[in-house]
């Protein structure tokens, strides 16, 4: 495609939400990225939280953690550039050991992933022998390696229900765990509230951990009340990393992709997303007829590390290469593949 046509397409997609001068600058970089991507036989995966100009110009596939894991498992390209955060790029590497996986920004972490270590999981296993461990994909490879099965926000309930036995250890997001406990009717408890030692007679069914997403933990029921007072017809969608109280006060809760589909498939006067704010912009760009309200005081600093400039540098310099030690990768792959099979 010529540069003129590419620029025209970007302008058509983004004109409602990105100022013209910004589109001119970003279109040049995005065009370079797409040329280099083809030359190097690379695929670009973009999480739904990427900023709108990047989201709508360079990814071959966009989606939530589950969707992108599935695509990563199937790609035949030599290089996977992951426009997302480190745990997502690690998941792609776990599933594609022979491929080069690049993360454009070194510092793209995640507060949930850094809330738990492999040693923490080993200690929980010792405390609750025989209880299966479910870990959210928002964890690093060594934590996944200590787990029986992974889950994402899109399949957490199905994963928990797929396990035999009444009790599961669900790590590390206390709010996602609380939301899944509600959905499955399970009683949840946190080890910090228990006396140390073994617990042979469990009278609870979900054991949680005190990890939180630094973005979603900040939304409150008061935010919802205030918005509803100002916009009585608003439909509020909350990601399940929000607290169970916030999820209960909202109208809909699901993974980022399911939230996008819900907005696209319904017809409310306006919508508010309680999640990383770029996603509202991305929906507004693709669906100019939708009225998206913004509550943008909370941003994900990690997702916002990923820029078009850094993605171009990633392809030019083959940086930053994601490595996972083979013994960890093999064990982590079992937990991730078991999750992908469940759907």
Which is closer to ligand SF4, CB of 167 or CB of 256? 256
Give the one residue of 139, 256, 282, 311 binding ligand 13P; rule: CB under 6 A.
256
C-alpha span between 273 and 250 (Å, rounded) = 10
Residues 287-326 that bind ligand 13P (CB under 6 A): none
User: CB atoms < 10 A from the CB of 312, how many?
Assistant: 19
From the list 23-31, 70-78, 123-131, 151-159, the region that binds ligand 13P by CB under 6 A is: 151-159
Residue 40: name the closest of 125, 129, 100, 116 by CA: 100
Q: How many CB atoms lie within 10 A of CB 196?
A: 7
Our CA angle for 326, 324, 322, nearest 5°, is 145
| Site for ligand 13P, residues 7 to 66, rule: CB under 6 A | 48, 64-65
| Site size for ligand 13P (CB under 6 A) | 12
Pick from 90, 148, 276, 281 the residue near ligand SF4 by CB under 6 A.
276
Binding mask 115-144 for ligand 13P (x = CB under 6 A): -----------------------x------
* Residue spans of alpha helices (H) in the chain: 3-14, 20-39, 52-55, 65-74, 86-95, 118-127, 141-145, 156-162, 174-184, 221-230, 244-249, 256-265, 278-286, 308-317, 326-342
Q: Of the listed pieces 143-151, 199-207, 281-289, 300-308, which binds ligand SF4 according to CB under 6 A?
A: 300-308
**Nearest residue (CB) to ligand SF4, 191 versus 211:** 211
Question: Whole-angstrom Cα distance, residue 71 to residue 230?
Answer: 41
Residue 158 tokens, joined: 């199905």
Q: Is the peptide bond before 12 cis (omega within 30 degrees of 0)?
A: no
Which residues 43-102 are close enough to bind ligand SF4 by CB under 6 A?
85
Select the residue interacting with ligand SF4 from 14, 30, 110, 336 (CB under 6 A): 110
174 is a site residue for ligand SF4 (CB under 6 A):
no
> Where on the chain is the footprint of ligand 13P (CB under 6 A)?
48, 64-65, 138, 152-154, 213, 239, 241, 255-256
> Where on the chain is the footprint of ligand SF4 (CB under 6 A)?
85, 110-112, 138, 213-215, 241, 276, 300, 302-303
């Amino acid at each position: 495609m010529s540069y003129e046509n590419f620029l025209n397409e970007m302008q058509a997609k983004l004109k409602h939400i990105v100022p013209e001068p910004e589109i001119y600058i970003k279109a040049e970089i995005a065009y370079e990225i797409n040329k280099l991507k083809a030359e190097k036989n690379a695929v670009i995966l973009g999480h739904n939280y990427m900023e709108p100009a990047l989201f709508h110009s360079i990814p071959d596939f966009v989606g939530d953690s589950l969707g992108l894991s599935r695509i990563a498992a199937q790609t035949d390209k030599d290089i996977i550039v992951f426009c997302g955060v480190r745990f997502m790029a690690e998941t792609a590497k776990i599933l594609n050991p022979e491929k080069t996986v690049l993360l454009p920004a070194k510092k793209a972490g995640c507060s949930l992933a850094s809330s738990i270590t492999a040693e923490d999981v080993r200690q929980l296993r010792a405390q609750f022998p025989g209880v299966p461990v479910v870990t959210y994909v928002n964890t690093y490879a060594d934590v996944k390696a200590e787990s029986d099965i992974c889950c994402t926000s899109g399949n957490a309930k199905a994963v928990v229900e797929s396990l035999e036995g009444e009790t599961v250890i669900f790590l590390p997001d206390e709010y996602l765990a609380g939301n899944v406990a509600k959905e499955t009717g399970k009683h949840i408890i946190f080890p910090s509230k228990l006396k140390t030692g073994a617990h042979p007679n469990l009278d609870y069914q979900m054991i949680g951990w005190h990890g939180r997403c630094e973005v979603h933990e900040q939304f409150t029921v008061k935010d919802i009340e205030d918005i509803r007072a100002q916009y009585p017809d608003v439909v509020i969608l909350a990601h399940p990393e929000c607290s169970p109280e916030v999820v209960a006060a909202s109208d809909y809760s699901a993974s980022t992709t399911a939230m996008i589909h819900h907005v696209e498939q319904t017809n409310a006067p306006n919508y508010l997303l309680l999640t990383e704010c770029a996603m509202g912009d991305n929906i507004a760009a693709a669906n100019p007829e939708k009225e998206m309200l913004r509550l943008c005081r909370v941003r994900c600093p990690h997702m916002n590390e990923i820029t078009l400039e850094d993605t171009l540098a990633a392809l030019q310099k083959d940086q930053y290469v994601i490595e996972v030690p083979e013994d960890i990768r093999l064990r982590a792959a079992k937990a991730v593949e078991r999750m992908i099979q469940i759907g």
